[in-house]
Amino acid sequence: MAAGRHGGYHGNELKERESDFDASRREFGYSKGEYDRASNGDRGLEGRDKQRGRVRQKDIKERDLMNGGYRSASSRSDSGSSGGSSGDFRRSVFPISAVDREPGELSSESGSDDGIDSESRAKDGKGLKLENGKTSPMQNKKRKFSPIVWDRDDKEVSNLSKSRMSPASTSLPPPPPLPKSYRQSPNSIPTSGVQISPSKVTNLQITQPLLLKPDVDSQLSAQYESPIGLSSSPLPERYLSETEEVERQEEEDYAPTRNIRASRWANDANSPTDEGEISDAPADTKIQKRRKKSSLYTPGEVTVPNKSLSPELEEIRREGSAGTRTRSSESDEGGFQVRSSSRDNYDNDMDKSDCMEIDEERDNYRASVSHSDTDSEEEHDSPDTPEPLVPPQRSVDMLQGCRSVDEFERLNKIDEGTYGVVYRAKDKKTGEVVALKKVKMEKEREGFPLTSLREINILLSFHHPSIVDVKEVVVGSNLDSIFMVMEYMEHDLKGLMETMKQPFSQSEVKCLMLQLLEGAKYLHDNWVLHRDLKTSNLLLNNRGELKICDFGLSRQYGIPLKPYTHLVVTLWYRAPELLLGAKQYSTAIDMWSLGCIMAELLSKQPLFNGKTEFDQLDKIFKTLGTPNETIWPGFSKLPGVKVNFVKHQYNLLRRKFPATSFTGSPVLSDAGFDLLNKLLTYDPSKRITAEDALNHEWFREVPLPKSKDFMPTFPAQHAQDRRMRRIMKSPDPLEEQRRKELQQGELGADNLVLLHLVLENRILC
Ligand SMILES: Nc1ncnc2c1ncn2[C@@H]1O[C@H](COP(=O)(O)OP(=O)(O)OP(=O)(O)O)[C@@H](O)[C@H]1O
């Protein structure tokens, strides 16, 4: 255990600091100058956007250089995992275009600063002034969002705006048109292994709200050991309209991402299907050549239809079904055929045995397929969907485009989670060790689980060093089981910390937090909430790389915020607004989880380990003080604030993380504590964003963040079932309820169609 960790590297830590610092700065791109330039609130919006673009471009170059350089000396684990940081990172950073300009910013300045912030600033005299004497934009900005429903019916947008936005925000200028550069530049899309050529972009692009960064800056809140609540400020925008739509279910809770959008299955009736047009398309790959005849685009004809950029399920269903209809009437060229005899083939497949011998879901699957037949009938009801969905069995056959799980040798079971069983396996062809996550279907009477579809969709789309890489999707030989093939990671942080005798050092925590924040920023920049960030969902390999996994609860969000289920995020990491029943929430819920994770990494103990929701709130209030309307405007209107909570007047967090300690408590510098406080700020609109957290001074002070190369290595625990080691698994009495609620929004076998849209893009690109 922890052999590498305690194997003498600490002695060199001071010496390493300087080089670590350089490396970290280069790796993560936290040059102070860049930060100042990027965050200079004085600059005009356009200038700032350009500047941010330059900064990011510079980051990309620097990161590429770094990733190509210092990591090469790293020892490789037995995983054989591809890592792929260097090449991948380029795709993870998006060029900034004019779409970054946010109309919301124009009116958001009207929000008054919370008086408690002033108090906090006066008290601490830090964290707000930048070194160059300029004032951090955090001082002035409220959390704000881009209204991204640009292309939705104007009427609808304005109605929504009226009902959901504060008076200040109703006076927002209309959102800008989608810039031409964006429309025509698929390079601006952070692609994964899914390389979307311009020619592959169909008009499902309309469902893609990506790249419109939710420029959600936040302010400090006074949560130090001081009386809580000193002044008032206007109600945050996001909570004003909560009462109207909180009863809505999450049935529209589907997260379309670019791989659906880019799927040529997802065209509408207006799409060019004419072969002549198609023949203009560049056929740069074999597959493209094969499919040229049935492609549905014309190069350069990428347009922005008059539809919403919000991830609306109905649109996806319509698009998906329409696209599928079109495809089904086409020729069957290529390896991804739609066969009319699909049912026969499916039955034949069912007779084969899966070499993994882990699939016992045939009956359920049959049930889901038959169910799906009826489900598809529902599509007739949609006025916008005159034709029925493609029969689900056709979709099933499309899975034949996937490799079989037989091509992997199972090594051992790693873990079994709520939504899947994870195996360690070896690719028989390449010898690469991978993780196979088998989608759990046994409880699914409604067809392919939406949670898994979301996860597959997001993970296939996203490519970032801090997001676990899904290489492909493979199927059981009966086509009734689906596996995600992921890069194998030796540890998850929860299991790892349980085996460690001492917590991570501050410089190690900084290294981990930087990676985590990079991942969170990437997600939030792409309008995705993870909604289940916790230490067991953070994977670590023996190259010091941290990666976020488990996107089963993640979803894409848009503006205006819609009511979502509050039953997300494992209890211990759940933000107070969720615990108090808020149904409109945003990226701040992930940031709270990150605060809990940061504290846990420092102390090796969960920060708030409640047993019930009430207990969880109680634990939070005891440590941070009971919130009130003054420090958290809107607090008293949250559905859960009916109970009279005990009023804890003081924030005692500093006692848990003192600056110096003789009792073994984890020490934390003032800057570190400031960051922790900002992550654990009650008012979500003031909670720090991932971007601002990345630029926090804690990461620039000694001890500097450890370079990934110098992170400790730990013996791989792949021989054991991690589940067995999880004695302290976070309890969540509402887990079952949460799953049920999420399943209510599931679309049954229709999801198979969506899955295939996802897979098709992956396979073909
Ligand atoms: N790529 C991977 N490499 C190694 N181990 C992994 C990988 N992905 C997941 N795991 C392990 O499997 C566990 C469960 O995976 P995951 O969280 O994705 O499943 P889940 O069913 O969604 O779990 P949960 O019940 O926590 O929601 C993780 O905590 C981790 O230990």
130: number of CA atoms within 13 Å, CB side? Answer: 21
Tell me, letter by letter, the H, E, C secondary structure of 331-397.
CCCCCCCCCCCHHHHHHHHHHCCCCCCCCCCHHHHHHHHHHHHHHHHHHHHCCCCCCCCCCHHHHHH
Q: How far apart are the first and last CA of the chain?
A: 42
Ligand 1 midpoint to CA 415 (Å): 6
What lies within 8 Å, CB to CB, of 339 at 6+ separation is 332, 345, 394, 397
Q: What is the pLDDT of residues 465-475, one digit of tens each?
A: 999 999 999 98
As a whole number, mean pLDDT of residues 226-254 equals 38
74: number of CA atoms within 13 Å, CB side? Answer: 27
Nearest-CA residue for ligand 1 atom 23 is 417
Distance CA 666, CA 497 (A): 14
Which atom number of ligand 1 is nearest to the Cα of residue 552?
22
Neighbouring C-beta atoms of residue 459, cutoff 10 Å: 26
Neighbouring C-beta atoms of residue 686, cutoff 10 Å: 28
Ligand 1 midpoint to CA 550 (Å): 6
Q: Give, in order, the Cα–Cα distances in Å from 241 to each of 234, 237, 336.
A: 14, 8, 46
pLDDT for residue 455: 83
Q: What is the pLDDT of residues 598-654, one digit of tens each?
A: 999 999 999 999 999 999 999 999 999 999 999 999 999 999 987 778 899 999 999
Residue 146 has pLDDT above 50, yes or no: no
Nearest-CA residue for ligand 1 atom 24 is 417
Asked if residue 536 has its Cβ within 6 Å of ligand 1, the reply is yes
Asked if residue 471 has its Cβ within 6 Å of ligand 1, the reply is no
- Residue listed under structure tokens 């795709």: 91
Three-class SS of residue 435? strand
Distance CA 645, CA 618 (A): 8
Catalytic residue among 59, 151, 215, 532: 532
Which of 77, 412, 415 has most ligand 1 atoms within 8 Å of its beta carbon, as the pocket-test mutant?
A: 415
What lies within 8 Å, CB to CB, of 452 at 6+ separation is 419, 420, 439, 440, 482, 552
Nearest to 203 by CA among 256, 135, 129, 146: 256
Distance CA 92, CA 522 (A): 8
Residue 294 has pLDDT above 60, yes or no: no
Task: Say if residue 80 is exposed, middle or buried (CB neighbours under 10 Å; 0-12, 13-18, 19+).
Answer: middle
- Residue listed under structure tokens 């990079």: 518
Residue 683 has pLDDT above 50, yes or no: yes
**Pair 447, 415: CB distance under 8 Å:** no
Rounded percentage of the chain residues whose pLDDT exceeds 90 = 30
Residue 53 has pLDDT above 90, yes or no: no
Q: Is 532 one of the catalytic residues?
A: yes
Ligand 1 midpoint to CA 289 (Å): 37
Ligand 1 midpoint to CA 489 (Å): 10
Nearest to 4 by CA among 718, 712, 730: 712
Torsion, Cα 294 752 570 483, to 10 degrees, reads -80
Answer with the residue of higher pLDDT: 559 or 53. Answer: 559
Three-class SS of residue 424? strand
Distance CA 687, CA 143 (A): 8
Which atom number of ligand 1 is nearest to the Cα of residue 488?
3
Q: How confident is the model at residue 670 (pLDDT cuts 50, 70, 90)?
A: very high
CA-based Rg of the chain, rounded to a whole angstrom?
25
Which atom number of ligand 1 is nearest to the Cα of residue 440?
21
Q: How confident is the model at residue 537 (pLDDT cuts 50, 70, 90)?
A: very high
ipTM above threshold 0.90? yes
**Angle in degrees, 0-180, between the axes of helices 588-603 and 670-679, rounded to the nearest 10:** 140
Q: How confident is the model at residue 517 (pLDDT cuts 50, 70, 90)?
A: very high
pLDDT for residue 401: 73
Asked if residue 549 has its Cβ within 6 Å of ligand 1, the reply is yes
Which atom number of ligand 1 is nearest to the Cα of residue 534?
26
Distance CA 192, CA 88 (A): 8
Asked if residue 449 has its Cβ within 6 Å of ligand 1, the reply is no
Residue 534 has pLDDT above 70, yes or no: yes
Distance CA 268, CA 289 (A): 22
Ligand 1 midpoint to CA 417 (Å): 6
**Pair 707, 20: CB distance under 8 Å:** yes
Ligand 1 midpoint to CA 254 (Å): 21
Tell me what the pLDDT averaged over the chain comes to: 59
pLDDT for residue 399: 58
Torsion, Cα 660 664 665 670, to 10 degrees, reads 20
Lowest mean pLDDT among 117-126, 164-173, 249-258, 520-529: 164-173
Nearest-CA residue for ligand 1 atom 31 is 492
Asked if residue 537 has its Cβ within 6 Å of ligand 1, the reply is yes
Asked if residue 488 has its Cβ within 6 Å of ligand 1, the reply is yes
Residue 695 has pLDDT above 80, yes or no: yes
Distance CA 503, CA 496 (A): 10
Which atom number of ligand 1 is nearest to the Cα of residue 722?
31
- Record the tokens describing residue 134, joined without a space: 């300029």
Neighbouring C-beta atoms of residue 717, cutoff 10 Å: 18
Residue 505 has pLDDT above 70, yes or no: yes
421 forms bridges with which residues in the sheet?
A: 416, 438
- Record the tokens describing residue 421, joined without a space: 């069983």
Nearest to 497 by CA among 8, 75, 5: 5
Answer with the residue of higher pLDDT: 384 or 331. Answer: 384
Asked if residue 111 has its Cβ within 6 Å of ligand 1, the reply is no
Ligand 1 midpoint to CA 542 (Å): 17
Three-class SS of residue 679? helix
Ligand 1 midpoint to CA 274 (Å): 45
Distance CA 115, CA 146 (A): 26
Ligand 1 midpoint to CA 761 (Å): 25
Distance of CA 180 to the CA centre of its chain: 27
Distance CA 440, CA 480 (A): 11
Asked if residue 480 has its Cβ within 6 Å of ligand 1, the reply is no
Ligand 1 midpoint to CA 527 (Å): 23
Nearest-CA residue for ligand 1 atom 18 is 550
Specify the long-range contacts of residues 171-175, CB closer than 8 Å, at least 24 apart. Answer: 171/107, 172/103, 172/104, 172/106, 172/107, 172/147, 173/103, 173/106, 174/103, 175/103, 175/146, 175/147, 175/148, 175/149, 175/150
Residue type at 96 in one-letter notation: I
Rounded (5°) CA angle 477-481-482: 105
Ligand 1 midpoint to CA 569 (Å): 15
Distance CA 34, CA 55 (A): 6
**Pair 352, 406: CB distance under 8 Å:** no
Which atom number of ligand 1 is nearest to the Cα of residue 486?
1
Asked if residue 417 has its Cβ within 6 Å of ligand 1, the reply is yes
Asked if residue 489 has its Cβ within 6 Å of ligand 1, the reply is yes
As a whole number, mean pLDDT of residues 127-149 equals 34
Which atom number of ligand 1 is nearest to the Cα of residue 419?
21
Which of 426, 451, 471, 492 has most ligand 1 atoms within 8 Å of its beta carbon, as the pocket-test mutant?
A: 492
State pTM to two decimals.
0.54
As a whole number, mean pLDDT of residues 283-311 equals 33
Q: How confident is the model at residue 724 (pLDDT cuts 50, 70, 90)?
A: low
pLDDT for residue 443: 56
Torsion, Cα 113 116 120 121, to 10 degrees, reads 20
pLDDT for residue 558: 76
Neighbouring C-beta atoms of residue 485, cutoff 10 Å: 23
Ligand 1 midpoint to CA 448 (Å): 19
Asked if residue 539 has its Cβ within 6 Å of ligand 1, the reply is yes
- Record the tokens describing residue 690, joined without a space: 């991932």
What lies within 8 Å, CB to CB, of 539 at 6+ separation is 468, 489, 491, 492, 493, 546, 547, 548, 549
Task: Say if residue 343 is exposed, middle or buried (CB neighbours under 10 Å; 0-12, 13-18, 19+).
Answer: middle
**Pair 388, 324: CB distance under 8 Å:** no
Which atom number of ligand 1 is nearest to the Cα of residue 421?
21
- Record the tokens describing residue 433, joined without a space: 């060790």
Nearest to 139 by CA among 125, 148, 129, 153: 129
Q: What is the pLDDT of residues 419-453, one digit of tens each?
A: 778 999 999 999 999 999 998 775 555 667 777 88
Asked if residue 722 has its Cβ within 6 Å of ligand 1, the reply is yes
- Residue listed under structure tokens 């020619």: 199
Give alpha helix (H) positions in 604-749.
Answer: 613-624, 653-656, 670-679, 690-694, 722-725, 735-744
Nearest-CA residue for ligand 1 atom 29 is 536
Asked if residue 418 has its Cβ within 6 Å of ligand 1, the reply is yes
**Pair 462, 522: CB distance under 8 Å:** yes
Residue 195 has pLDDT above 80, yes or no: no
473 forms bridges with which residues in the sheet?
A: 484
Distance CA 244, CA 240 (A): 9
Nearest-CA residue for ligand 1 atom 21 is 417
Which of 496, 536, 549, 735 has most ligand 1 atoms within 8 Å of its beta carbon, as the pocket-test mutant?
A: 549
**Pair 466, 547: CB distance under 8 Å:** yes
Distance CA 355, CA 659 (A): 56
Answer with the residue of higher pLDDT: 5 or 583. Answer: 583
Nearest-CA residue for ligand 1 atom 13 is 415
Give alpha helix (H) positions in 382-445.
Answer: 392-398
Burial 266-285 (b: 16+ CB within 10 A, else e): bbbeebbbeeebbebbebee
- Residue listed under structure tokens 């899947």: 420
Which of 456, 494, 536 has most ligand 1 atoms within 8 Å of its beta carbon, as the pocket-test mutant?
A: 536
pLDDT for residue 564: 74
**Pair 525, 212: CB distance under 8 Å:** no
- φ/ψ (deg, to 5) at 136: -65, 140
pLDDT for residue 49: 44
Most confidently predicted of 262-266, 438-442, 648-652, 736-740: 648-652
